[in-house]
């Protein structure tokens, strides 16, 4: 164990502090140490954003004292949609988390991926996410992209930020949508609250909301719902769910944002990332993720499992 009693940090972020004192080679390495629960501050589990102040006690366990956060889970089956030497795309099931939150946790997409592609555990920004390029909410299913090396990870993250990776979702929304719409409302997140909110343009300019843009197009009516395609131009958390709800079109089953019941398991809602298009470095790639059975069953016109 390495222990330091800080006397001059003056409110420095923990990840910066670990780099400055030479306990980590980079901020990414510092985040890995924190994600692996190897760092405590005054005896409590640390977070990367913790501010280190005068007289704080920081304890650091040796890296070898713990197993990887991304423990392999070979019993967990995940459909592989695409793979090459640098990139993997899998079909995430609904209600399965993308990655673990704590060391030793299993049952997530990344645990299954690491069992088949162990190299992805050493890639990416944090130890718990590995090479995960983007995330999907627990209740969302569909195509999930993972990098197999750091070069691919950095390039794909840049492409995602620049809009060079096209993601197309299918969603079942309450009510009717007759024509395509563009939603450009910023998305605000308040502390640890689960819900995100649509914010004003002024809030975006003040830096308390993120720009967000979604293209929504109707596909066909399904009973009292409408099946729509959604193409987000940005990637703010809960963006699609918030944008649709803000227009009176909440996603079926998404109770957090006012969606009506439709007969899905608790926590599951009718949202699926069905297509992802990207440049692999060797040419364009188009990947489609088949609809899972629980969502496909609700497309039948005669289905009567929706709530009142």
Q: Number of C-alpha atoms within 13 angstroms, CB side, residue 29?
A: 11
pLDDT digits (tens, 9 = 90+) for 247-275: 999 999 999 999 999 999 999 999 999 99
pLDDT digits (tens, 9 = 90+) for 132-188: 999 999 999 999 999 999 999 999 999 999 999 999 999 999 999 999 999 999 988
Spell out the domain ranges in the chain.
2-65, 68-162, 165-308
What are the two backbone dihedrals, phi and then psi, of residue 244, each rounded to the nearest 5 degrees? Answer: -65, -45
pLDDT at 278 over 80: yes
Compare 105 and 5 and report the one with higher pLDDT. Answer: 105
pLDDT at 44 over 60: yes
Task: Judge whether 137 counts as a catalytic residue.
Answer: yes
Confidence at residue 273, expressed as pLDDT on a 0 to 100 scale? 99
pLDDT at 207 over 80: no
Confidence at residue 104, expressed as pLDDT on a 0 to 100 scale? 80
Spatial neighbors of 300 by CB under 8 A, at least 6 apart, are none
Compare 145 and 305 and report the one with higher pLDDT. Answer: 145
Which CATH architecture does the domain made up of 165-308 adopt?
2-Layer Sandwich (3.30)
Confidence at residue 305, expressed as pLDDT on a 0 to 100 scale? 46
The CA-based dihedral angle spanning residues 42, 44, 47, 50, taken in that order and rounded to the nearest 10 degrees = -30
Model pTM score: 0.77
Which CATH architecture does the domain made up of 68-162 adopt?
2-Layer Sandwich (3.30)
E runs forming strands in 132-193: 141-147, 166-174, 181-183, 187-189
Which residue has 């079109």 as its token pair? Answer: 249
Confidence at residue 95, expressed as pLDDT on a 0 to 100 scale? 97
pLDDT at 202 over 50: no
Helix residue ranges per DSSP H, 23-178: 27-35, 109-116, 150-162
Confidence at residue 204, expressed as pLDDT on a 0 to 100 scale? 46
pLDDT digits (tens, 9 = 90+) for 89-142: 999 999 999 999 877 889 999 999 999 999 999 898 778 899 999 999 999 999
- CA distance linking residue 94 with residue 90, whole number of Å: 13
Q: How far is CA 215 from CA 45, 166, 169, 182, 276, in A?
A: 41, 12, 10, 5, 15
Confidence at residue 22, expressed as pLDDT on a 0 to 100 scale? 79
Confidence at residue 3, expressed as pLDDT on a 0 to 100 scale? 58
Confidence at residue 234, expressed as pLDDT on a 0 to 100 scale? 86
pLDDT at 201 over 70: no
Compare 182 and 31 and report the one with higher pLDDT. Answer: 182
Compare 254 and 303 and report the one with higher pLDDT. Answer: 254
User: What is the CATH number that goes with domain 2-65?
Assistant: 3.10.290.10
Selecting among 137, 185, 254, 294, the annotated active-site residue is 137
pLDDT digits (tens, 9 = 90+) for 46-88: 887 788 887 888 888 765 544 567 899 999 989 999 999 999 9
- CA distance linking residue 79 with residue 94, whole number of Å: 13
Confidence at residue 307, expressed as pLDDT on a 0 to 100 scale? 44
Per mean pLDDT, which range of 102-116, 189-203, 220-234 is the poorest? 189-203
One fold for 68-162 and 165-308: yes
Separation of first and last alpha carbons in the chain: 59
Task: Yes or no: say if 4 and 21 are a contact pair by the CB < 8 Å rule.
Answer: yes
């Amino acid at each position: 164990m390495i222990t330091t009693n800080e006397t001059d940090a003056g409110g420095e972020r923990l990840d910066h502090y670990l780099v400055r004192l030479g306990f980590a080679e980079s901020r990414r390495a510092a985040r890995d140490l924190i994600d692996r629960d190897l760092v405590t501050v005054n005896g409590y589990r640390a977070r990367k954003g913790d501010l280190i102040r005068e007289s704080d006690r920081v304890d650091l366990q040796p890296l070898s004292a713990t197993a990887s956060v991304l423990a392999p889970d070979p019993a967990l089956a995940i459909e592989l949609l695409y793979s090459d030497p640098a990139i993997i795309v899998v079909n995430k099931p609904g209600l399965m988390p993308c990655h673990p939150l704590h060391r030793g946790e299993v049952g997530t997409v990344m645990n299954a991926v690491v069992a088949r592609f162990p190299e992805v555990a050493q890639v990416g920004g944090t130890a718990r996410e590995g090479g995960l390029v983007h995330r999907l909410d627990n209740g969302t299913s569909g195509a999930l992209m993972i990098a197999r090396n750091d070069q691919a990870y950095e390039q794909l993250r840049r492409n995602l930020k620049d809009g060079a990776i096209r993601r197309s979702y299918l969603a079942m929304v309450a009510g009717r949508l007759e024509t395509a719409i563009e939603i450009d409302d910023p998305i605000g997140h308040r502390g640890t609250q689960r819900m995100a909110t649509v914010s004003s343009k002024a809030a975006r300019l003040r830096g308390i909301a993120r720009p967000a843009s979604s293209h929504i197009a109707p596909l066909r009516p399904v009973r009292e719902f409408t099946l729509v395609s959604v193409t987000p131009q940005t990637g703010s958390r809960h963006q699609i769910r918030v944008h649709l709800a803000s227009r009176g079109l909440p996603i079926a089953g998404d109770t957090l944002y006012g969606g009506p019941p439709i007969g899905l398991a608790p926590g599951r809602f009718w949202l699926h990332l069905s297509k992802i298009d990207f440049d692999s470095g060797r040419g364009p790639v188009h990947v489609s993720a088949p609809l899972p059975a629980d969502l496909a069953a609700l497309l039948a016109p005669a289905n009567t499992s929706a709530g009142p």
